[in-house]
């Protein structure tokens, strides 16, 4: 079990939906979604929603966090560090139907040229319970409003026929409000909208047409959502980011044990990976091998061959007596 860390959340989401219609208006159904969550560590300031046991550390507990006989800090984070990304890839209808353990995913959107839209169904998100952040599929019912900005960028060649608009939510009870709709003809990502600008939460709509532009075949909707006061998402009553992040598994590697055994065959490395390990370069390409990203590892060795002095096997290693 890994203890909770308080974080902010950035969401980048894309979904692909087919339709036969004109302009942007029409009825759309979700056929695929790819969400990427980035967590940013913020200050613990005891505001509403801050956990009393929140830390900036990822800790391993054995046999569990509630009746722990052994604790070990795997990594320390500083305020401003990024954790993640946590990726929820569901690219096809088969993935959506199989969905996540929380259930299948399906969104229907009625979009009107007047700027209104009705969203119903289920949609993937993340939730944290008992120090574990996991995917969830909550129900969605939303009477939202939307807007586009500027003339579309039109691509018309033998292989591609599409029109791209800046697009955003004006009001929504589910997704971030005040999503900026950039004018893609005149505005520049990273300067007028996007990360680090005044308009970090923004959207893009791309309609893909048939040969004579008379019917929309598919639609791509992409948005970047940064939680905060300006977007109306992911903040507590004091305006502080109120996300939590934790995992029941950990990162590590399966190559350090192999490298140690090659140096000294007398070392019994066993078969489990090293929890918290960063990997050894076994093939000489300067890239660590056998690295396992969080939260894959649930069993493994806690291994610290250098201790506080940084010298291998100098007898100050805290776990030396375990063998």
Contact criterion met (CB below 8 Å) for 172 and 109: no
Give the start-to-end residue ranges of the domains of the chain.
Answer: 5-245, 250-322
- Following CA atoms 275, 281, 286, 287 in sequence, which dihedral angle do they give, to the nearest 10 degrees? -40
Backbone angles phi, psi at 93, to 5 degrees: -55, -35
pLDDT tens-place values along the chain, 323 residues long: 222 233 333 333 444 444 333 346 778 888 888 877 777 787 776 555 555 666 787 777 777 777 888 888 877 888 888 877 777 778 888 888 876 666 788 888 888 888 899 999 988 877 766 666 667 788 889 999 998 888 889 999 888 899 999 998 888 888 877 889 999 999 999 999 988 888 988 999 988 888 888 888 888 888 888 776 666 666 666 666 666 666 666 778 888 888 888 887 877 777 788 887 788 889 988 888 888 765 566 777 877 777 777 777 777 777 665 54
Side-chain-facing half-sphere of 43: CA atoms under 13 Å: 5
- The model scores a pTM over 0.85: no
Checking 236-242 for CB contacts under 8 A at 24+ apart, the result is 236/47, 236/48, 236/49, 237/48, 238/47, 238/48, 240/42, 240/45, 240/47, 240/48, 240/49, 240/50, 241/6, 241/7, 241/8, 241/9, 241/40, 241/42, 242/6, 242/48, 242/49, 242/50
Are the beta carbons of 162 and 154 closer than 8 angstroms? yes
């Amino acid at each position: 079990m890994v203890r909770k860390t308080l974080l902010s959340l950035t969401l980048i989401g894309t979904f692909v939906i087919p339709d036969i219609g004109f302009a942007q208006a029409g009825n759309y159904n979700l056929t695929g979604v790819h969400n990427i969550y980035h967590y940013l560590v913020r200050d613990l300031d005891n505001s509403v929603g801050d956990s009393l046991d929140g830390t900036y550390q990822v800790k391993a507990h054995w046999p569990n966090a509630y009746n722990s006989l052994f604790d070990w800090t795997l990594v320390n984070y500083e305020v401003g560090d990024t954790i993640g990304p946590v990726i929820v890839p569901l690219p096809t209808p088969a993935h959506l139907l199989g969905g996540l353990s929380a259930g299948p995913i399906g969104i229907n959107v009625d979009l009107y040229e007047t700027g209104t839209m009705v969203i119903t169904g289920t949609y993937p998100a993340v939730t944290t319970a008992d120090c574990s952040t996991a995917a969830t599929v909550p129900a969605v019912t939303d009477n939202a409003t939307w807007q586009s900005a500027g003339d579309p960028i039109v691509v018309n060649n033998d292989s591609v026929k599409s029109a791209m608009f800046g697009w955003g939510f004006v009001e929504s009870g589910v997704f971030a409000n005040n999503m900026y709709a950039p004018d893609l003809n005149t505005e520049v990502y990273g300067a007028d909208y996007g990360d680090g600008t005044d308009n970090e939460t923004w959207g893009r709509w791309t309609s893909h047409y048939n040969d004579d532009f008379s019917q929309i075949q598919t639609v791509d909707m992409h948005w970047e959502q940064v939680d905060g006061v300006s977007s109306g998402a992911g903040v507590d009553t004091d305006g502080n980011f109120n996300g939590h992040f934790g995992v029941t598994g950990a990162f590590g590697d399966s190559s350090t044990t192999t490298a140690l055994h090659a140096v000294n065959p007398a070392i019994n490395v066993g078969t489990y990976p090293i929890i918290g390990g960063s990997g050894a370069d076994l093939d000489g390409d300067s890239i660590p091998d056998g690295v396992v990203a969080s939260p894959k590892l649930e069993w493994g060795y806690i291994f610290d061959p250098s201790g506080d002095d940084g010298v291998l096997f100098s007898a100050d290693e805290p776990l030396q007596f375990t063998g």
